[in-house]
Structure 1
């Protein structure tokens, strides 16, 4: 496999060529262990000398080559650059070992402390990462799933820049729906991306390629973005962790970064891995004047007893339906089992429902999209004479029609009312727990008709958008169990504005009381 600089339509889009290197095949048992390792696991193994970044990268490239025909989650394999970055990481770890040994002989300081100090500037050194295709990688085609919009950026997206500076190794780029504007991942350019837990089902969208690739073990970390659930929905359907940071905390690129519903995101397989990645990508950036200074989310308690002591008696609110969303029974079953486990852990769980209505929330969101997003999509389609899927045409038409009925100043008034209701419901609590999705599993294809006979858009099957409206609230999506279709279920943890540590503390508690690490799709 080698770096691909262009994309081709449908299922044959991945560049794949064997380069005549001397790399040997890794056994499937070894491959499975490496594929299951988290970012923190890999860094520990690199520092101890148990693994080399080059071994990990070669093994995961083999895995991508073997599994991609099943999933179709990758737009581009970055084999050449990944191997080069891994080789440099090998050298850095070896250099740290050598420098540490000399330092210890001379000064008798702690060996591990010396090694950690020499590598502290690159907390993700040698860790493979999946890049959502919409996050620009300099010199590589950027289309967002619409080939007519292809361009070749000359600079990395701010979060890609920061990941590479932290030592991460981009290994693949992942599929998105057209314009990243769907809750499934399907496009005319790349075809249908499938869920590794059940190939008949979608991994969600728009970060569905990242979610599927994470669940399949292509890498322990991935980038996502979220303007209506695009990080949290794939996290739920793929059994991984996804984080929507408060608006402005993670830098983006204008003009999309001017939309206060959106955020670029960290995705991973553990809460702490996502915390570390988020700390790498967050913070003010010169390319985004709307980005704000950010305090890193502190390390989580080292063991379950310490976590339990810190959360004892702290209140969280459980909302099963966020008003009147029609939620599938298996999602509710796993949500309530998780809430019960948290209560047994010592967390004070109280049940409340907001005075929200799903129809009204979606009307408000689509008025916002009609003012902020759909006009530019329409302009780009016309300018490029782009051929787009029906779900994009229907999205644009529905958003523009809704905005024509509801002026921008009215959307701002309604958004304020939604935020006030959330503040009242969360009074006295540190977080809200709610489902991410109303439908536990959806088919691996775009809906034939995006709007039903009642005027409801298919996005209403999801429960993420209320917390894009509540855009200063951090929201962490974590797994809760497995639904009846074999697709994972999840919940979203919503904390008060900018109270990021609370979201991660509750996420760590869910991970402790409902362990997930041993569950993996049977690929």
Structure 2
């Protein structure tokens, strides 16, 4: 049978229903894979393997004649450690929160459990999820399964690494500046930033329009499967949208779809392998029948950085500052730097109102393009990956031979946290010279989820990607 740890969720469910595969067999294979590779990858912050196997035995009964399996019945799902589970530790990846226990379960996890998914593990993040890499003093360094010298990105880096290393079939992520799409790009997986409000979240960050919880998977169909489970209104989230809008089971083709291909969003540094892989995705969509035209967006990364840090200085930064005031010695240097950088940005650049005015100007050319095209495609990041364990405080990140003022300038994702109502799907675009995968963002019109999935599925059909790293 197919390599079980890398079996797609949709195929696993088909085999479960035909009784050609037991949920116990799949869970056992995933657990054995985790025990073999975790010492090198370090993607799992918490493991509940014995309980998961017991739950898989219960799920097995749902597939017997007369049973009624739920949408995720028996699938191993890793949840990002940031998504709390009542009665379990809620550390935020920080030594300062080492003894914190969650009082409530995140709506995303509630829905996975209600759909029969088995949370066999939780995945690592940077401290407070405030970085685009994944290492912390609490959990150590999480590494990229494609090249262990590199990070799997962040902040959902543990989820991306778990999928790429075969230690989860599905995973959850959250995205405030690229934290689903960057790890998906770095690990050769699929990650979806839903439009704001599509997936319920918890206060207070559910009220932050930069914040999105979403699915991560190895295939477009698997990503849609998990998205359809977690979507929809929730009584505790005032911004969660009703009715629930789900991705169609049959996505169809992209013949006639108008695609704006942006090799760059403006003045970002893009390395040659990333540029070539993005162009190859554009060509794949053209081969699939889409009308693809190269466009210029004309944004300035300095404006995007300024808008983002003003915004973070109003909400995200103060949440870290509050902990730092009492436990500063316990925090990582990068968390302390984030709190300070966001505080000073808001003061220096005119505060929240000035930030909103800048955000409106940033969205304008995107909105004008999406008025003429069905989707926009662009690189997810200018470089394939960051070095594992590096926080870029004492050293500067160099991309395409240019030293960046701040390492987050390598990312083209934050633009679409500003344009937060746009759905964005990351799909793999190829590999870099260092063996690390690269990704492309497929950006849709506000709340047009299905079209980005249809485009992603078309890319997957024309340019299927490898799921298992050769070296792991």
Q: Which TM-score applies when normalising by structure 1?
A: 0.86
Matched, 1:216 2:175: no
Query: Could you report, residue by residue, the CA deviation over 1:431-462 in whole angstroms, capped at 9, with x for unpaired residues?
Result: 00000001122211232417859983211111
> Which of 353, 361, 364 is residue 417 of structure 1 equivalent to?
361
Residue 226 (structure 1) aligns with: 175
Matches for 1:267-416 after TM superposition, within 5 Å: 267-293=216-242, 294-301=244-251, 307-308=252-253, 311-385=254-328, 387-405=330-348, 406-416=350-360
What secondary structure is seen at the aligned counterpart in 1 of 2:311?
Answer: helix
Distance 1:507 1:462 in 2: 20
Query: 2:382 is paired with a residue of what secondary structure?
Result: coil
Contact 2:328 2:336 in 1 (8 A): no
Q: Is the 8 A contact 1:266 1:277 kept in 2?
A: yes
1:217-256 alignment runs, 5 A limit: 217-256=166-205
Secondary structure of the 1:426 match is helix
- Give the deviation of 1:344 after TM superposition: 2.1
Mapped partners of 2:246, 2:276: distance in 1: 34
Instruction: Give the 3 Å change call, closer, same or farther, for CA 211–484 of structure 1 in structure 2.
Output: same
Deviations 1:240-265 (A, max 9, x none): 00000011111111011111101011
Q: Cα deviation per residue 1:308-366 (whole Å; 9 max; x = unaligned)?
A: 4xx21221101111011010100001111111121122111111111210111111111
Kept after mapping to 2: 8 A contact 1:451/1:458: no
Structure 1 residue 440 corresponds to structure 2 residue 384: yes
Shift of residue 519, structure 1, vs aligned partner: 5.3
Could you list the runs of 5+ residues in structure 1 that have no partner in the other structure?
1-29, 100-114, 302-306
Corresponding residue for 1:37? 7
Cα drift, residue 155 of structure 1: 2.6
Which residue of structure 1 lines up, in the alignment, with residue 458 of structure 2?
Answer: 509
Distance 1:42 1:74, change over 3 A: same
Structure 2: where are the runs of 5+ without partners? 398-402
Matches of 1:518 and 1:417, distance apart in 2: 39
When normalised by structure 2's length, the TM-score is: 0.95
Aligned to 2:33: 63
Q: CA deviation at 1:426?
A: 2.4
Higher Cα Rg, which structure: 1
The answer as to whether partners of 2:154 and 2:179 remain within 8 angstroms in 1 is: yes
1:86 maps to 56
Q: Does 1:487 align with 2:440?
A: no
Cα 1:211/1:272, change in 2 over 3 Å: same
Structure 2 partner of 1:139: 87
User: 2:96 & 2:393 partners in 1: Cα distance?
Assistant: 24
Question: How many pairs does the alignment contain?
Answer: 464
Work out whether residues 316 and 347 of structure 1, in 8 Å CA contact, stay in contact via their aligned partners in 2: yes
Alpha-carbon RMSD: 1.7
The structure-2 alpha-carbon separation of the partners of 1:71 and 1:501, relative to structure 1 and needing over 3 Å to count, comes to same
Q: Distance in 2 between matches of 1:440 and 1:519?
A: 17
